[in-house]
Structure 1
Amino acid sequence: MEPFLVVEREENILIARMNRPDSRNALTAPEYMQEFVDLCAAIRRDKTVNVLVLTGNGSSFCAGGNVKDMRDKSGIFEGSPAELRNQYRDGIQTIPLCVYELDIPVIAAVNGPAIGAGLDLACMCDVRIASEKAKFAESFIKLGLVPGDGGAWLLPRVVGMPRATLMSLTGDMIDSSKALEYGLVTDVYPSDQLMAEAMKVARSMAANPSAALRMTKRLLREGEHMRLSSLLEMSAAYQALAHNTEDHVEAVEAFLAKREPKFSGR
């Protein structure tokens, strides 16, 4: 069976494409979720990767769960309440714990509908760029369900509590222009330009010193739940580390010499 995530590399950028276009890239099987875990573990070990771009093959980004499986109470929706609880904990909930916590920036190139868990997956990323064909819905409530994969934590941090409440309690779809208004995405492009634009952003990030890139991402993540005083302590420690990297020295020398820096990742 072909992998759910098809991964390619451009220098220090990874592009991962969800590859079940016939099912709109629905997250239907435990092995799909394990691929996210495995990919994130590999990225954590590979210090030469600076940015991950996530997108979907076909017309959709990710349709979330498979509604027919819900109806049939099959696959990941099979079992007693206790079994279902553990299937969520050991399945779909492993994705936010690995994707959201990655040290490198993650860009979602939302090529089409991002529905339910698909929207939450986009919210696990640091930056979201959308095709004009993209649509978004926190649609769990339409099926008599709650966000089971962290959406109630993720979505308010992206669009703010009032809009997250509106999206979560209506389950209604919004288009790419409304998503731009909400701040859910930073930019909207014609479909045929989406990946080129996403890669521009990825290259701009990836061109920076890798240690500073990772530490800045971590500070942004920790700052979401830390007191200012605690974050300042962490920032001071990280800055001391950054000042002692070879890439910092090279960046300063290149700036003063008015030349392009050549970073080594050290």
Structure 2
Amino acid sequence: MTISNPAIRNALTNDMAKDFAAACEEIESDNRIGCVILRGEGGTFCSGADTASWGETYSGGTLTDEAYELSDAMYGSFVRFGQLPVPTIAAVRGAAVGAGLNLAMAADLRIVAEDARIIAGFTAAGIHPGGGFFTLARRLAGREIAGALGLFGMEISGARAHEVGFAAVCVEDDQVEPTASRMAATTAKDPLLARRVKHSFQIETSGQYLTWDAALEVERGVQMWSQERRLRAQAER
């Protein structure tokens, strides 16, 4: 999946949010898909929401029914991406700002360029963070980094993001997308297994931590299914 609005550094418009949700729906229903890579066109991940688009949305006020519906559509598409039944990778080059950063955080894994720019940018723009920013940031990198980014507007590099656990992999800029493709290929070769594993991943990591014995129960049945499936495949060769 490619975020494409290069004239304004891949900023997200209301129409793009609708297209994004529609693409997620297609992925959900296509069982041949075993992994999704989200990237930005032209070396920039996403510079946030398109201010001109949102200015039109709020022309009648920020509390109108239309404004709420469009906000729901934008952030709802992020949630839909985060809840896809297949593993997802955000391939982050250039800047990930505001809503674009939220979108990167919605992925299961982030691969970042060493010189990528990780910027919340909400308070600098005079607005409160949205899209569940603090919940997502704390889940990835802890309270301190969530506060530094969201409360105090600190910018961090891709290299620093990797150091603090915000991203799993950090490489040179021209290696971000090839690395994402290689990692995705391992998972995507067996779409059914990928979806089963993603389901367990969501259960065990999305909310409160499970106890170890509860995690064993969550995983046990699906792991036994996968073992039986592997043995059958070996016997059929």
TM (normalized to structure 1)?
A: 0.79
Residue 89 of structure 2 corresponds to residue 107 of structure 1: yes
Aligned to 1:32: 16
Unaligned runs of 5+ in 1: 1-15, 255-260
Offset from partner CA, 1:63-112 (integer Å, 9 cap, x none): 11123556xx32x33333143333211x2111222110011111111121
User: Displacement of 1:121 after TM fit?
Assistant: 0.5
Gaps of 5+ in 2: none
In the alignment, which residue of structure 2 is the partner of 1:7? none
Could you say which residue in structure 2 is the equivalent of 1:190? 172
Matched residue type, 1:77 = Y
CA RMSD of aligned residues (A): 2.3
- The answer (yes or no) to whether the contact 2:34–2:192 under 8 Å persists in 1 is no
Kept after mapping to 1: 8 A contact 2:141/2:164: yes
Work out the CA distance in 1 between the residues paired with 2:180 and 2:220: 32
Q: Would you say the 8 A contact 2:94–2:117 is kept in 1?
A: yes
**Alpha-carbon distance between aligned partners in 2 of 1:85 and 1:144, rounded to the nearest angstrom:** 19
Q: Is the 8 A contact 2:35 2:194 kept in 1?
A: no
Match for residue 195 of structure 2 among 214, 227, 233: 214
1:205 maps to 187
DSSP-derived class of the 1:129 partner? strand
Inter-partner Cα distance in structure 2 for 1:236 and 1:77: 50
Q: 1:116 aligns with which of 85, 93, 98?
A: 98
Q: How many residues align?
A: 232
Give the CA deviation at 1:152.
2.1
Asked if 1:177 corresponds to 2:159, the answer is yes
Q: Of 68, 73, 79, which aligns to 1:85?
A: 68
> What is the 5 A alignment of 1:59-78?
59-68=43-52, 73-74=55-56, 76-78=57-59
CA contact under 8 A between 1:96 and 1:150: conserved in structure 2? no
Change (3 A) 1:68 1:37: closer
Percent identity of paired positions between Structure 1 and Structure 2? 27
Q: For 1:47 and 1:82, how far apart are their aligned partners in 2?
A: 39
For 1:5, the equivalent position in structure 2 comes to none
2:41 to 41, 57, 71: 57
| TM-superposed deviation, 1:210 | 2.8
Structure 1 residues 234 and 78 mapped into 2: Cα distance closer, same or farther (>3 Å)? farther
Does residue 249 (structure 1) correspond to residue 232 (structure 2)? The answer is: yes
8 Å CA contact 1:25–1:56 kept in 2: the answer is: yes
Q: Which residue of structure 2 lines up, in the alignment, with residue 136 of structure 1? A: 118
Q: 2:153 & 2:219 partners in 1: Cα distance?
A: 39
By percentage of residues, which structure has more helix? 2
Q: Offset at 1:132?
A: 3.0
1:211–1:242 CA contact under 8 A, matched in 2: no
Following superposition, the deviation at residue 194 of structure 1 comes to 2.0
Does 2:149 match 1:164? no
Matched, 1:234 2:234: no
Q: Distance in 2 between matches of 1:243 and 1:188?
A: 33
